Amino acid sequence: MEIAQSTLNLIFIGATFAVYIVIAARSRAASTKEYYVAGGGVSPLANGMATAADWMSAATFISMAGAVAISGYDASRFLMGWTGGFVLLTMLMVPFLRKFNKATVPDFIGDRYYSRTARAVAVICAIFICMTYIMGQMRGVGVVFSQLFGISISSGVVSGAVIVFIYAGLGGMKGITYTQVAQYSVMAFSYTIPAVFIAMALTGNVVPQLGLISNYTADGTAVPFLAKLNAINTELGFAEYTSGKLSTINMFCITAALMCGTAGLPHVIVRFFTVKDVKAVRKSACWTLGFIAVIYLTAPTIGAFSRVNLIEKLHQTTYTEAPYWFKEFEQTGQMAWVDKNNDGRIQYFGPGVSEAGTFSVFQGKAPEYPLYDAPQEQRIGVHGQRLLANKADLSNPNELYFGNDIMVMANPYMAGLPPWVIALLMAGCIAAALSTAAGLLLVLSTSISHDLMKKIIKPDLTDREEVNFARLASFAALVVAAYFGVNPPSAFIAKTVAFAFGLAASSFFPTLLMGIFSSRVNRAGGIAGMICGIVFTSSYIVYFQFLGGTKEQLFFGITPEGIGFVGMLINFIVAFAVSNMTKPPPGYITEMVANIRTPSGVRKTPPTDFEI
Amino acid sequence: MNDQNSKSHWRASLRLTGLLLVCWFILGYVAPILFREWLDANFPAVGTAPFGFWVAQQGSIIGFVVILVIYAICMNRTDKKHGYSEED
């Protein structure tokens, strides 16, 4: 019996949702400890899965393979940056912060630097970083919902927000941890299954990672797969797939900023506060990176395979003979064809994104379409294709436009996979967006209720009042996030991602690191370093992203994406210089530092408060 | 626990961390970024993929996981030696 794709999608998503809600309802948080850190007794394996789901956002899930497909070697900065950061996180941060035994990251900064100012700076950074991220997630949920159910994006965003609030706002950390475990499983299956099929089709290998390093066999010949891809690229006018366009210093700085930023992201750090002791933290970090690696090792294979597949299926094909899925994605606006030379064939040529920042197929950043009531000849072309309202960019011969997300979304169609795989993929996308949104929402709400209300504004809050404040705060944060999801400052979101990582790399990472590994850095040094790092990084980013700084003015050719690395070095230098000029921190701080370096005793000691 | 013991524990863990960070730097920066072109040209290919490119897209990630596993095993052993380990 043939079931329609839309029905299958509904069944898969409905089933996964039912699972999430049941899990969340069974593990509702009752105390602040359960709300913030799930009671501190989650198993390392479960926490590893949950952290992996938390870490991989909808953007990573949908767009990363596309980024690799489009820029080849250059995209390695994301692959290495977002995994290598976990090495820093595990060896330099989380075991010590877990031993410290507090609920949030600003807690540590406030206590270690014995200062309310330091805590306030940390809270503001945490809120900014999470807010930036969550806006993109809400938008992602909205887009997927609107495609699935045929509702407007705004109603998609609102329904996504309601679901997230139900289990994150009410369930707290305990609720989201166990739903994230389920969400990771959905994500991993839906990501790897299409990759296996496409690897078999192109290289005859069942394991995609082996397919990437073996021969291309689909046309009966056997040439090295990457050599085949390089040949296709150079023939069409692109740079070689395996060599990069970015300068070495820029590539180095961006990778370093992403790694250090990852190690300083508050929503990742707090995940490790949920396991029972330092030993469990280390074990859990291994699981986390292992689970993340499953997806990150598959992304470059999907990118490479689907690039070959896409070009072979579409390049020089007449529109009337183009595969059916091309027309479907044309309708949703994810792909577009502009017949510049009027030959009725689709042509795809390099060198990719033009200097003007357009996609070089048409003028402007995104495809725009004539209104529905426009005359038919403005909407539909002579070959039946969907026409764009944008003017064609006639400076180059490229006629095919597609977004980054197409390499994952169209992959099962291109490989001719059964409809249930596509339904699973849809469920995976939603799982990726929901799990990240829930994790971020939790950090946002604890930052507001615990660090801002309890520690700075109103210290006499009771436990129960604090949890209620956290729920209220998560509701408020969600309303703001949903507002920006409905009215996205779209150019702004893409640009602020660099901001979030830059800020984490130049503020949290160095400040936490010095707090743990040096007992000499004091209040004045810590605050001065943090402020110099943040001010330098944010003014550089604002200048080049928003105030029209030119390429020639870049510091050693480092783009805003990578400047957080320089900001981090500035933070270190300033903090050490100022600390050495002022008097050392008081004795109880030195004791505290010695104490967090000793791994035992987390379970026995009740949380101690170094109140200021 | 006495002071001497905690100092030697801290030194041992710094030594391990430093050593693994050197491996991390080689895997994440030296091989895939700084010397990639030289490695692509002069090192044997991994399967059919150029060496430096393979490290950048696959090898480094596998290596990072291995580093964390080594860290967890060695640190737990160091803890035990210094009497800091807790039985489950």
Contact list in B for residue A83 (CB cut-off 8 A) is: 60-61, 64
CB proximity under 8 Å: A 37-76 to B: 68, 73, 76
The Cα–Cα gap between A565 and A561 comes to 9
Domain shared by A293 and A392, yes or no: no
Contact list in A for residue B79 (CB cut-off 8 A) is: 278-279, 599-600
CB proximity under 8 Å: A 279-308 to B: 279, 282-283, 285-286, 289-290, 293, 296-297, 300
Domain shared by A110 and A54, yes or no: yes
Q: What is the pLDDT of residues A69-80, one digit of tens each?
A: 888 888 888 899
Q: Which residues lie across from A469 on neighbouring strands?
A: none
> Two tokens at A584?
């050392």
The Cα–Cα gap between A359 and A49 comes to 37
For A562-575, what is the mean pLDDT?
92
pLDDT at position B2 is 64
Q: Alpha helices of chain B — where are they, by DSSP H?
A: 3-25, 36-42, 51-54, 60-81
Query: Residue A261: is its pLDDT beyond 50?
Result: yes
The answer to whether residue A224 is domain-embedded is yes
Can you give the pTM of this predicted structure?
0.88
Q: What is the pLDDT of residues A138-187, one digit of tens each?
A: 877 777 777 677 777 788 888 888 888 877 777 778 888 888 898 999 99
Q: How many CA atoms lie within 13 A of A178 on its CB side?
A: 22
The Cα–Cα gap between A88 and A260 comes to 7
The Cα–Cα gap between A612 and B59 comes to 47
A–B interface: beta-carbon pairs under 8 A: 136
Handedness of CA A489, A260, A567, B22 (dihedral sign): negative
The Cα–Cα gap between A127 and A119 comes to 12
Task: Identify the H or E element spanning A512.
Answer: helix A509-517
Distances (CA, A) of A38 to A35, A62, A418, A529: 6, 29, 39, 33
Tell me which of A488, A513, A540 is where a domain ends.
Answer: A488
Q: Which residues neighbour B22 within 8 Å (Cβ) at sequence distance 6 or greater?
A: none
| A215 closest CB neighbour out of B10, B46, B48 | B48
Domain shared by A333 and A261, yes or no: no
pLDDT at position B5 is 85
Q: Alpha helices of A383-450 — where are they, by DSSP H?
A: 406-409, 411-414, 419-446
CA dihedral B78→B79→B83→B85, nearest 10 degrees, is -140
pLDDT above 70 coverage of chain A, percent: 93
| A76 closest CB neighbour out of B10, B20, B32 | B32
Asked if the peptide bond before residue A351 counts as cis, ω within 30 degrees of 0, the response is: yes
Closest of A88, A59, A66 to residue A258, by C-alpha: A88
The Cα–Cα gap between A8 and A421 comes to 10
Rounded to a whole number, what is the distance in Å from the CA of B10 to chain A's nearest CA?
Answer: 7
> Two tokens at B17?
């961390």
Domain shared by A238 and A152, yes or no: yes
pLDDT above 90 coverage of chain A, percent: 15
The answer to whether residue A21 is domain-embedded is yes
B28 and chain A in contact, CB less than 8 A: yes
Closest of A441, A469, A442 to residue A455, by C-alpha: A469
Task: Identify the H or E element spanning A509.
Answer: helix A509-517
Q: Do B76 and A214 touch (CB under 8 A)?
A: no
How many domains does the structure of chain B reveal? 1
| A91 closest CB neighbour out of B29, B53, B71 | B71
Rounded to a whole number, what is the distance in Å from the CA of B8 to chain A's nearest CA?
Answer: 11
Query: Residue A606: is its pLDDT beyond 70?
Result: no
The answer to whether residue B55 is domain-embedded is yes
Domain shared by A127 and A105, yes or no: yes
Domain shared by A292 and A161, yes or no: yes
Q: What is the span of the domain harbouring residue B75? A: 6-81
The Cα–Cα gap between A95 and A92 comes to 8
The answer to whether residue A533 is domain-embedded is no
DSSP A119: H
B65 and chain A in contact, CB less than 8 A: yes
Q: Which residues neighbour A506 within 8 Å (Cβ) at sequence distance 6 or greater?
A: A533, A534, A536, A537, A564, A567, A568, A570, A571
pLDDT at position A188 is 92
Rounded to a whole number, what is the distance in Å from the CA of B41 to chain A's nearest CA?
Answer: 12
Query: Residue A368: is its pLDDT beyond 90?
Result: no
Rounded to a whole number, what is the distance in Å from the CA of B72 to chain A's nearest CA?
Answer: 5
Domain shared by A431 and A398, yes or no: no
Q: Do B57 and A293 touch (CB under 8 A)?
A: no
Q: Do B86 and A242 touch (CB under 8 A)?
A: no
Of A5-9, A295-299, A303-307, A491-495, highest mean pLDDT: A295-299
Q: Under a CB-based contact definition with an 8 Å cutoff, are residues A21 and A435 in contact?
A: no
Contact list in B for residue A291 (CB cut-off 8 A) is: none
Contact list in B for residue A84 (CB cut-off 8 A) is: 24, 27-28, 60, 64
Burial of B9 (0-12, 13-18, 19+ CB in 10 A): buried
End-to-end CA distance of chain A: 69
How many domains does the structure of chain A reveal? 2
Which residue of chain B comes nearest to A303, CA vs CA?
B57
Q: Residue with structure tokens 């006499």?
A: A460
Tell me which of A456, A488, A520 is where a domain ends.
Answer: A488
pLDDT at position A89 is 92
Q: Do B76 and A282 touch (CB under 8 A)?
A: yes
Q: Count the neighbouring beta carbons within 10 Å of the beta carbon of residue A609.
A: 10
Tell me which of A488, A504, A531 is where a domain ends.
Answer: A488
The answer to whether residue B87 is domain-embedded is no
Q: Count the neighbouring beta carbons within 10 Å of the beta carbon of residue A86.
A: 27
Contact list in A for residue B13 (CB cut-off 8 A) is: 597
The answer to whether residue A321 is domain-embedded is yes
Q: Do A87 and B67 touch (CB under 8 A)?
A: yes
The Cα–Cα gap between A383 and A343 comes to 10
Phi then psi dihedrals of residue A297, to 5 deg: -80, -25
Distances (CA, A) of A464 to A34, A273, A306, A329, A471: 12, 21, 52, 50, 11
A20 and chain B in contact, CB less than 8 A: no
The answer to whether residue B30 is domain-embedded is yes
Q: What is the span of the domain harbouring residue A181? A: 5-59+72-299+419-488
CB proximity under 8 Å: A 214-243 to B: 214-215, 224-227, 242-243
Distances (CA, A) of B26 to A199, B19, B33, B59: 30, 11, 10, 11
The answer to whether residue B43 is domain-embedded is yes
pLDDT at position A611 is 36
Domain shared by A375 and A449, yes or no: no
The answer to whether residue A519 is domain-embedded is no
Determine the residue among B33, B73, B85 to mutate to test chain A binding: the one whose Cβ has the most chain A Cβ atoms within 10 Å: B33
The answer to whether residue B19 is domain-embedded is yes
pLDDT at position A570 is 94
pLDDT at position A48 is 92
pLDDT at position A603 is 64
The answer to whether residue B13 is domain-embedded is yes
Contact list in A for residue B28 (CB cut-off 8 A) is: 80, 84, 87, 255, 259
> Two tokens at B37?
């072109």
Domain shared by A199 and A100, yes or no: yes
Counting as low any pLDDT under 50, the low residues of chain B are: 1
Closest of A212, A461, A512 to residue B48, by C-alpha: A212
B35 and chain A in contact, CB less than 8 A: no
* Amino acid present at A484: F
Contact list in B for residue A91 (CB cut-off 8 A) is: 17, 20-21, 71
Q: Do B48 and A225 touch (CB under 8 A)?
A: yes
Secondary structure (DSSP) of A472-488: HHHHHHHHHHHHHHHS-
Rounded to a whole number, what is the distance in Å from the CA of A517 to chain B's nearest CA?
Answer: 10
The answer to whether residue B1 is domain-embedded is no
The answer to whether residue B86 is domain-embedded is no
Query: Residue A255: is its pLDDT beyond 70?
Result: yes
Contact list in A for residue B65 (CB cut-off 8 A) is: 286, 289-290, 293
B67 and chain A in contact, CB less than 8 A: yes
Query: Residue A437: is its pLDDT beyond 70?
Result: yes
* Mean pLDDT, rounded, of chain A: 82
Q: Which residues neighbour A550 within 8 Å (Cβ) at sequence distance 6 or greater?
A: none
Closest of A53, A81, A74, A29 to residue A434, by C-alpha: A53
Query: Residue A88: is its pLDDT beyond 90?
Result: yes
Angle between helices A509-517 and A587-597 (to 10 degrees): 100
Q: Do A87 and B64 touch (CB under 8 A)?
A: yes
Contact list in B for residue A227 (CB cut-off 8 A) is: 48
Per-residue pLDDT band for A490 (boundaries 50, 70, 90) equals: low
Query: Residue A354: is its pLDDT beyond 70?
Result: no
> CA gyration radius for chain B?
18
Q: Do B32 and A80 touch (CB under 8 A)?
A: yes
Domain shared by A295 and A347, yes or no: no
